[in-house]
Amino acid sequence: MPSRPDTIVAPATAAGAAALAVVRISGPDAARLDRELFPAPASPRTARHADFHDRDGRLVDDVVATFHPGPRSYSGEDLLEISCHGSPFIVQKILEDLLARGCRAAGPGEFTQRAFLNGRLDLSQAEAVMDLIHARSERALVAAQQQLRGALGRTMNQLTDRLLGVLARVEAYIDFPDEDLPTEDRSALQTALEAIWRDTDRLLATQHYGEMLRHGIKTVIVGAPNAGKSSLLNRLVGRERAIVSPEPGTTRDFIEEQIVIGPHSLRLIDTAGLNPAPGTIEKLGIEKSLERVAEADLILLVIEAGQPVPAFPRSLLERLVPGRCVVIVNKVDQAPPPSEIVFANNLPVVQASALTGLGFDQMVAQVTALADAFQVPDLEDSIAINARHADALVRAKTGLRDALAKLAGAAPSELLASDLRGTLDAYGDIVGKVDNERMLDQLFATFCIGK
Ligand SMILES: Nc1nc2c(ncn2[C@@H]2O[C@H](COP(=O)(O)OP(=O)(O)O)[C@@H](O)[C@H]2O)c(=O)[nH]1
Ligand SMILES: [Mg+2]
C-alpha cells in the first residue's frame, strides 16, 4: 500500500439485474464524497435515503447511503456504502461518476487487503472471508465462520506463545557459551518441543478435511455395467445428468457433478462399468475408472440386487476400506438383495433403489457419517486449514524436528534458537505477520472484486 492510500471503489454485489446492488468506497476521500453526494447531515453508520446526482447534476437513482468512519469499518478506513437499485446500468453510472470524482477502481480483494493491513483481520481471517462467500455446504460454512472469528489465529497464537517460552529458555544460555544446558533443562525443553510438534502435526492433519470442505468430497461411483451407477448419480443430482440405458457400457466418459448431501458438498463422479470381459475401448474406460477410485475420498460401490456379486479387480477391492466406502445394493425394488456380500467386511451396506429412491435417506446418513469422520478429533472449533497454511506448518515442523535433533546432539544453543525462530516465522505466516508483499498480493488477487 502506498504511504497515503488512494480511495477505491467497486460494486460489492454480483453483476446482473437484482433488487439491489451495493457500491463500496474506501479510503481518505470517502468522507468528502459522502458530504458532496449526500449533503444533509447524518450520523455515522446510519442508513439514509437520498438521491444520487452525478457531477452534472443529473439524477442517477434514489439510494440508501451509509457512512462508516474508520477505523471501525470493514476496511479500517473511512468507508461509504451506496445501496442502489440493482440495475447494471445504474451501477455503471454510479461507478463512472465516482471515478470522475477521483476514486480508483478497486482490484480483487482490495477492501479485505486493506482490512488486513489496517489490523482489522489477520490473514487467516481474510482468507475465511473468501471461504465464507464460496461455502457450498453447512460444514464448510461453519468452518469458515470459525476461522473468520479467529479460531485458527487463536490456535496459532497459543502455539507461538508456547514456542516463545522455549526460545526464551534456550536464549538464556546463548550469552553464556561456556555453560551447557543442564540435563534437567534439556529434557524439559525436549518434552515441551515434542508437545508443540504433536500439536502442529495435528493441525496439519486437518488439511485433507479442509480440502474437502473447500472443493467438495471426491466421491466416485463404481460397479459393474448396468448396476445403476448413472441412475444413482441422476437421482442424487436431481436431474437426468448421465445417460441411463439398459444397454451395458453407455457411460464411457466421466461425469462429474457438485452436489450437496446432508451437511456436505460432494464432487460426485460417475464412471464406466467394471466389465470383467471388456472390449478395447471399454478397457481404457475401466483403467481410468480405477485411477479415479485411487484418488477418491469416498467410494460408492454399486452392486445389483438379484445378481451374483461380480468379481471386481483386486486394485478396486484393495481400496474398499472401512471409512472410505459405502456398498449400495441397488434395484431392491425388483429383486432381493444378495444374502451375503463376501468382500464387504465392515463396510456399511445400504439397500436402495435408484428408480424409486428407496434407501436414499440411509445412504445420505452413511455418507455424512463417513465424511464427518475425516474431521481431526479433539481439535477445537472445527479448524480445517488450507494449502497455504499447510505449507507453513510443514516448515514449522521441519524447524521443530531440527531443533529436537540439535537438542539431542548437544549442539550450541545458538543453532537451536535459530531453528526455533524459523518455526516462529512459519507460524507467523499463517496469520500474516509477514512483510512478504508479493505473497500478499498473490493471495488477495484470488479474491473477488468488491471484497
Ligand atoms: N428396477 C430398477 N431398475 C434400475 C434401477 N437403477 C437403474 N435401473 C435400470 O438399470 C439400467 C442401467 O442403469 P444405468 O444407470 O444406466 O446403469 P450403469 O450402467 O451402472 O450406469 C437402466 O435400464 C435403468 O433404468 C433400480 O433401482 N431399479
Ligand atoms: Mg452408466
The finding on whether 330 has its CB within 6 A of some atom of ligand 1 is yes
Distance 357 CA to ligand 2 centre (A): 17
Average pLDDT for 405-410: 90
Least confident of 49-58, 220-229, 271-280: 271-280
Average pLDDT for 68-82: 97
pLDDT at residue 229 in the model: 94
Residue 243 confidence class, pLDDT cut points 50, 70, 90: confident
pLDDT at residue 350 in the model: 95
Q: What is the pLDDT of residues 300-318, one digit of tens each?
A: 999 999 988 888 888 899 9
pLDDT of residue 371 exceeding 70, the answer is: yes
Domain(s) labelled CATH 1.20.120.430 in the chain stretch across: 126-206+382-431
pLDDT at residue 101 in the model: 97
Regarding the domain delimited by 216-372, which CATH topology (the fold level of the hierarchy) does it fall under? Rossmann fold (3.40.50)
pLDDT of residue 339 exceeding 80, the answer is: no
> What residues have CB less than 8 Å from 231, skipping those under 6 apart?
244, 330, 354, 355
pLDDT at residue 449 in the model: 76
Distance 264 CA to ligand 2 centre (A): 24
Q: What is the DSSP letter of 17?
A: -
Domain(s) labelled CATH 3.30.1360.120 in the chain stretch across: 8-119
Strand ranges in 291-334 using DSSP code E only, listed in sequence order: 298-304, 325-330
pLDDT of residue 39 exceeding 70, the answer is: yes
Helix (H, G, I), strand (E, B) or coil at 338: coil
Query: In whole numbers, what is the pLDDT of the chain averaged over residues?
Result: 90
Q: What is the pLDDT of residues 382-404, one digit of tens each?
A: 799 999 999 999 999 999 999 99
CA distances from 220 to 257, 316, 347, 367, 374 (A): 11, 12, 16, 12, 17
Residue 179 confidence class, pLDDT cut points 50, 70, 90: low
Q: Dig out the grid coordinates for 179 from the structure.
A: 555453560
Residue nearest to atom 26 of ligand 1 (CA): 331
- Give the ligand 1 atom nearest the CA of 231: 15
Residue 245 confidence class, pLDDT cut points 50, 70, 90: confident
Greater pLDDT, 126 or 276: 126
Percent of the chain with pLDDT over 70: 95
Residue 169 confidence class, pLDDT cut points 50, 70, 90: confident
CATH superfamily of 8-119: Probable tRNA modification gtpase trme; domain 1 (3.30.1360.120)
Q: What are residue 289's DSSP bridge partners?
A: none
pLDDT at residue 241 in the model: 83
Distance 245 CA to ligand 1 centre (A): 7
Residue nearest to atom 9 of ligand 1 (CA): 228
Distance 243 CA to ligand 1 centre (A): 10
Residue 436 confidence class, pLDDT cut points 50, 70, 90: low
CA distances from 130 to 11, 113, 217, 286 (A): 16, 12, 19, 38
The finding on whether 244 has its CB within 6 A of some atom of ligand 1 is yes
- How far is Cα 292 from Cα 301, in angstroms, rounded to an integer? 13
Query: Residues 23, 105: contact at Cβ < 8 Å?
Result: no
Query: Residues 324, 208: contact at Cβ < 8 Å?
Result: no
Regarding the domain delimited by 126-206+382-431, which CATH topology (the fold level of the hierarchy) does it fall under? Four Helix Bundle (Hemerythrin (Met), subunit A) (1.20.120)
Q: What is the pLDDT of residues 106-164, one digit of tens each?
A: 999 999 999 999 999 999 999 999 999 999 999 999 999 999 999 999 999 999 999 99
Query: Residues 446, 107: contact at Cβ < 8 Å?
Result: no
The finding on whether 246 has its CB within 6 A of some atom of ligand 1 is yes
- Residue 237 identity: V
Average pLDDT for 282-299: 89
Distance 249 CA to ligand 2 centre (A): 7
